[in-house]
Amino acid sequence: MSKIDIEFSVHSNPYFLRVMDLSSWQEIFNEPSIIEITLPGYKRCITKYFDKCKTNIFNSIALDINCSGECGDTENLTLPDGIYKIKVIGSPDTFNKEHYYLKTDMFNMEVDKIYIDNLNKRNRSSLIDKLTEIEFLVKGAEAHLRFDDITTAGMQFEKAQEMVEDLKNCSSCK
């Protein structure tokens, strides 16, 4: 029996989550595979078929998160930022890999707006300090994810989101 190695890479933009399969499926290549995606704030995973050796693309419609019930909404909505739990499972299911991914696409756009709105202002040292702290928190969240400390990663990203909201609303600009 050859070595089966499930490996994948995750990328995103505001509307799509892309999971590129980099696995070595060997003798289970012709067997079915699935992917379980747990979105930020969700308790249950969303299970879909997984195409081996391809890039699997998921949006709000494919993930069935546009609305609850039978609303027939076909508009593609932005996917939430936060920590995604992604698990690719082969057949038999003893062959699997789990990965956590921090999606920050909409968050990054909000930070970009803060930079743009404040780039030409004088006396921005306080803003620079806050933006540096936000960047530090996001990098820390990513680092904690790499070491499987999901709770700390979530707390750090949540704190960064709160700081961005404060800057957007100017609640601490004075």
Q: Delimit the domains of the chain by residue range.
A: 8-103, 105-169
Distance CA 23, CA 16 (A): 21
Q: Is the pLDDT of residue 172 over 50?
A: no
**For residue 148, what are the contacts with CB-CB under 8 A and spacing of at least 6?**
100
Question: Which is more confident, 157 or 118?
Answer: 157
pLDDT at 174: 43
User: H/E element holding 88?
Assistant: strand 82-89
**For residue 108, what are the contacts with CB-CB under 8 A and spacing of at least 6?**
none
Contact 104, 81 (CB under 8 A): yes
User: H/E element holding 111?
Assistant: helix 105-118
Contact 41, 123 (CB under 8 A): no
Reported as a single tens digit per residue, the pLDDT across 60-109 is 999 988 865 566 657 889 999 999 999 999 999 999 999 999 999 999 99
8-103 is classed CATH 2.60.40.10: yes
Q: Is 46 left (phi over 0), alpha (psi -120 to 50) or beta?
A: beta
Q: Is the pLDDT of residue 171 over 50?
A: no
pLDDT band with cut points at 50, 70 and 90 for residue 16: very high
Closest CA to 77 of 106, 48, 34: 106
**For residue 133, what are the contacts with CB-CB under 8 A and spacing of at least 6?**
163
Peptide bond into 92 cis (omega under 30): yes
Three-class SS state of 127: helix
State the Cα angle at 95 between 92 and 97, rounded to 5°: 140
Distance CA 40, CA 14 (A): 14
